[in-house]
Amino acid sequence: MRRWYEMRAGAGGAAPEIQIYDQIGQSSFGEETLSAKDFARDLRALGDVSEIVCCINSPGGDVYDGVAIYNLLAQHPAKVTARIDGIAASAASLIAMAADEIVMPENAFMLVHEPMGMAVGPSETLLSVAADLARMTESFAATYSKRSGMSVEDIKALMKENRLMTAAEAKEKGFCDVLGEPVQMVASYSLAGLPAEARKTLEKVMKQQHRGKARAEMDPEQDPEDPAMEADPEEDPTMADDDPVEDPAEKTRDQQIAEHCRQIMELCNLADLPEMAPEMVAKLMPIAEVRKTLVAAKAALARQNRVLGIHGTKPKTKEVNHGWDDIVAKLNQGAGRKRA
């Protein structure tokens, strides 16, 4: 089971540490991750502690898991220190607001933005989802406002900007209490879910740090103040990478979701059950489960038709059976492959 966080007791009297180093909560594609319920269980298992350090390097994730974890930390009797080791974006930035003290190295980032969602269905469904997102925005803005001291309206304007805040900006706006020494930034997760400009900024920073570290390891006596150490590859063509920042063959998270939804709708149409697609798409049901559900639904419908005599006296021909067998075969095609 893939963990998106790790919780461990402090050694030698140090404060227990929570590492949130991945996307938060349940994956959109059915991956097995841990829920806020598991987070609560592990937090209780720490016992009676007086201090907790929550280390964050996350692009965000599930809204409800984020809210639940925020509340768990905000209500905990221990002093909670949030340390933003790389980026605290979206739901991860909300979790940071639960801390009594927020520490950001000078090269760390924070991103607050309006909650996002996806819906498939008639206009009433889309309007309902839009209203839910508006309420979430109000709730998030109130939380950010309470912690930072900014007005709710100013917070909403900042959320609409959808851009990264540097550590210095975050401190200036009240989202951070202490600036720390810069750290080497790494990401064990995909940056595709972040807004385009935020993703480009992070990729550029991490590449520059990687180059600086590589050069320091190759020539440890080189002057760290040498301007060549800080050269921008966009301005110095001799430093350009042969590899692109982002493989164009890799699909972004939004493209993956769109492709996943398209596959669900195609399978539902193939099974002649298009009415089942909206609910499956809304849940982003794994493809293997979609196939299984559709086969079961077709089988149940066939049994019901036989009981009700819908086919009348029409004989059951081999051709009719072959047509259904063909559909089942197509639905199960590739069932052994990895889930989308």
- The predicted pLDDT at position 275 comes to 80
Q: Which domain holds residue 309?
A: 253-332
In the annotation, is 90 catalytic? yes
Within a domain: residue 239?
no
Within a domain: residue 217?
no
- The predicted pLDDT at position 295 comes to 86
Please give the full DSSP string across 4-19, using - where no structure is assigned. Answer: SEEEEPPSTTPPPEEE
Using the 3D structure, point to which of 171, 188, 205 is the last residue of a domain. Answer: 205
In one-letter notation, the amino acid at residue 296 is A
Residue of 28, 58, 93, 113 marked active site: 113
- The predicted pLDDT at position 148 comes to 95
Q: If you ran DSSP here, which 8-state letter would residue 237 be given?
A: G
97 and 197 together in one domain: yes
| Rg of the chain taking only CA atoms, in angstroms | 25
Rounded distance, CA 93 to CA 111, Å? 7
Within a domain: residue 340?
no
Residue of 58, 90, 145, 148 marked active site: 90
- The predicted pLDDT at position 40 comes to 92
pLDDT tens across 72-90, in order?
999 999 999 999 999 999 9
Domain CATH number, residue 167 = 3.90.226.10
* Terminal-residue alpha carbon distance, the chain: 17
Confidence bin at 241 (pLDDT 50/70/90): very low
Domain count, the chain: 2
26 and 123 together in one domain: yes
Beta bridge partners of 262: none
Report the pLDDT averaged over residues 5-14: 75
58 and 185 together in one domain: yes
Using the 3D structure, point to which of 146, 172, 205 is the last residue of a domain. Answer: 205
- The predicted pLDDT at position 11 comes to 66
Report the pLDDT averaged over residues 287-305: 82
Confidence bin at 53 (pLDDT 50/70/90): very high
Listed range (32-46, 246-260, 312-326) with the worst mean pLDDT: 312-326
In the annotation, is 322 catalytic? no
Within a domain: residue 127?
yes
Within a domain: residue 337?
no
- The predicted pLDDT at position 319 comes to 42
Report the pLDDT averaged over residues 206-227: 52
Evaluate if residue 95 carries a pLDDT over 60.
yes
Within a domain: residue 232?
no
Within a domain: residue 145?
yes
Evaluate if residue 306 carries a pLDDT over 90.
no
165 and 262 together in one domain: no
- The predicted pLDDT at position 335 comes to 46
Look at strands 109-111 and 165-166 and give their pairing. antiparallel
258 and 195 together in one domain: no
Listed range (184-188, 259-263, 302-306) with the worst mean pLDDT: 184-188
Query: In the predicted model, what is the mean pLDDT of the chain?
Result: 76
Q: Is the model more confident about 252 or about 209?
A: 252
Report the pLDDT averaged over residues 282-291: 86
Q: If you ran DSSP here, which 8-state letter would residue 192 be given?
A: T
Look at strands 109-111 and 79-89 and give their pairing. parallel
185 and 301 together in one domain: no
Within a domain: residue 201?
yes
Evaluate if residue 262 carries a pLDDT over 90.
no
309 and 165 together in one domain: no
Element housing 300 (H / E)? helix 287-308
50 and 157 together in one domain: yes
149 and 49 together in one domain: yes
Evaluate if residue 111 carries a pLDDT over 80.
yes
292 and 193 together in one domain: no
Report the pLDDT averaged over residues 3-23: 80
| % of residues, the chain, pLDDT over 90 | 36
Beta bridge partners of 54: 18, 82
- Tell me the helices (H) and strands (E) count for the chain, helix number first: 11, 8
49 and 182 together in one domain: yes
Listed range (14-28, 94-108, 155-169) with the worst mean pLDDT: 14-28
Rounded distance, CA 128 to CA 122, Å? 10
Q: Is the model more confident about 198 or about 137?
A: 137
Using the 3D structure, point to which of 184, 205, 226 is the last residue of a domain. Answer: 205
153 and 27 together in one domain: yes
